[in-house]
């Protein structure tokens, strides 16, 4: 008989350890800051849920665990009124619990306004290990856009280096097709970090197609993106005012290709390019005629 009771308690998971003496409907203030057993019917889905993809297979695995061991980790909810609560985090656990027919679930209850609820949901979401890089990047971006956090503040909230946050945010510069490919697992974050160095989205897609077609590694992708980058032509420094007036004179003598380059100290050089021996002889004759 003792073994049967022990097995039953194990199957209830965290519920077996909770104090059932609190009546949620009558003592709503008492449950704030506590873990209590709430009726699933009293819990609304979080409208601020940052997560958009739920792996059904993972939920089914979680449901199997809950059916055997019960809910081990409580969900987090915020109190709306005396009889209703809103989910802050733990939607997968809630879905899995519903799928195995549970009518109640262990819940940590707290008070939070809409902004605090969104921030808690986003921060909790970022710290999960099973998120794809784009989902994390979008959560960081929402913390910037909707909560007004700086990257330094986010670093403190989520316990990540600022450089890490920056690397995730840069992924949002990728073409949406590539972002979808990363979310679906066709490429890794390493591939994405290499692709984001390409400014043109058309060029990004061209390299992305090569990655998929040839199964390129991250290192091979990095090399390919380097080869894909256009070379930036060297810019000729503008002539200083005291040389600019003479430039046209030199062009009449030596041709339009002549340039005058001046450094920050006022010194410089007159550059007279030539493409052949014949052109060099022509320039030489021009100098001699000036003498």
Of 190-199, 240-249, 265-274, which gets the smallest average pLDDT? 240-249
Domains of the chain: 2-112 (3.90.1530.10), 241-283 (no CATH)
Mean pLDDT throughout 181-205? Answer: 93
pLDDT reported for residue 23:
45
Tell which residue, 31, 38, 37, 42, has the closest CA to residue 15.
Answer: 37
55 vs 163: which has the higher pLDDT: 163
Q: What angle do CA 194, 195, 201 make, to 5 degrees?
A: 160
- The per-residue pLDDT for range 58-96, each reduced to its tens digit, is 888 889 998 888 888 898 888 887 788 988 888 888 999
pTM tops 0.85, yes or no: no
Asked if 91 is an active-site residue, the reply is: yes
Look at 112-121, 189-198, 226-235 and tell me which has the smallest mean pLDDT.
226-235
Say whether pLDDT at 136 is over 60. yes
Tens digit of each residue's pLDDT (9 = 90 or more) over 199-227: 899 999 999 999 999 999 999 999 999 88
Q: What is the reported pLDDT for 193?
A: 95
Task: Kindly name the residue from 37, 91, 119, 135 that is annotated as catalytic.
Answer: 91
């Amino acid at each position: 008989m003792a073994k049967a009771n022990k097995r039953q308690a194990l199957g209830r998971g965290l519920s077996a350890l909770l104090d059932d003496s609190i009546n949620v409907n009558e003592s709503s203030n008492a449950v704030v800051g506590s873990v209590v057993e709430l009726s699933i019917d009293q819990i609304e889905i979080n409208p601020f849920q940052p997560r958009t993809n739920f792996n059904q297979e993972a939920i089914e695995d979680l449901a199997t665990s809950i059916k055997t061991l019960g809910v081990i980790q409580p969900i987090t909810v915020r109190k709306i009124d005396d009889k209703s609560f809103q989910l802050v985090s733990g939607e997968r656990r809630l879905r899995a619990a519903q799928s195995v027919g549970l009518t109640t679930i262990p819940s940590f209850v707290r008070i939070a306004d809409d902004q605090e609820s969104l921030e808690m949901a986003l921060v909790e979401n970022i710290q999960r290990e099973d998120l794809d890089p784009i989902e994390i990047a979008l959560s960081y971006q929402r913390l910037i856009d909707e909560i007004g956090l700086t990257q330094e503040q986010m670093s403190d909230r989520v316990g990540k280096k600022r450089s890490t946050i920056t690397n995730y945010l840069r992924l949002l510069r990728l073409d949406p097709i590539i972002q979808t490919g990363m979310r679906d697992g066709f490429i890794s974050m390493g591939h994405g970090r290499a692709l984001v160095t390409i400014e043109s989205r058309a060029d990004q897609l061209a390299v992305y197609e090569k990655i998929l077609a040839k199964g390129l590694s991250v290192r091979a992708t990095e090399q390919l993106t380097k080869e894909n980058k256009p070379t930036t032509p060297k810019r000729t420094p503008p002539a200083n005012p005291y040389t600019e007036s003479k430039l046209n004179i030199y062009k009449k003598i030596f041709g339009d290709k002549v340039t005058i380059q001046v450094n920050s100290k006022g010194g410089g050089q007159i550059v007279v390019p030539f493409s052949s021996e014949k052109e060099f002889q022509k320039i030489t004759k021009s100098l001699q005629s000036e003498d």
